[in-house]
């Protein structure tokens, strides 16, 4: 858990910088793509305002878009609205 906590801290710092940069371009929605096996986004997820777009199937309880990047290349689409 210590490593995951450190990763979360680094990601949160980077997200803050990214969101500040995005605001300069008058944008208020950030979208990203990750893999269903990437559990790092789980530690940020809903409490930080990051939501998973509703896909067409679920993998390990996560909504995914199947074949997004080709055969057996499912992806999770995440979105965050910034103020």
Question: Could you read off the pLDDT of 9-50 as tens digits, one per residue?
Answer: 666 677 778 878 888 889 888 888 888 776 655 555 556 677
**Its pTM surpasses 0.75:** no
pLDDT of residue 8: 63
Confidence of residue 76 (pLDDT cuts 50, 70, 90): confident
**CA–CA gap between residue 67 and residue 21 (Å, rounded):** 31
Domains of the chain: 2-81 (3.40.630.30)
CB 18 within 8 A of CB 70: no
């Amino acid at each position: 858990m210590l490593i995951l906590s450190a990763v979360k801290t680094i990601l949160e710092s980077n997200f803050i910088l990214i969101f500040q940069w995005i605001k300069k371009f008058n944008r208020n929605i950030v979208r990203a793509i990750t893999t269903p096996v990437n559990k790092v986004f789980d530690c940020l997820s809903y409490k930080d305002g990051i939501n998973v777009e509703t896909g067409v199937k679920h993998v390990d309880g996560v909504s995914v878009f199947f074949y997004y990047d080709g055969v057996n290349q499912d992806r999770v689409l995440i979105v965050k609205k910034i103020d």
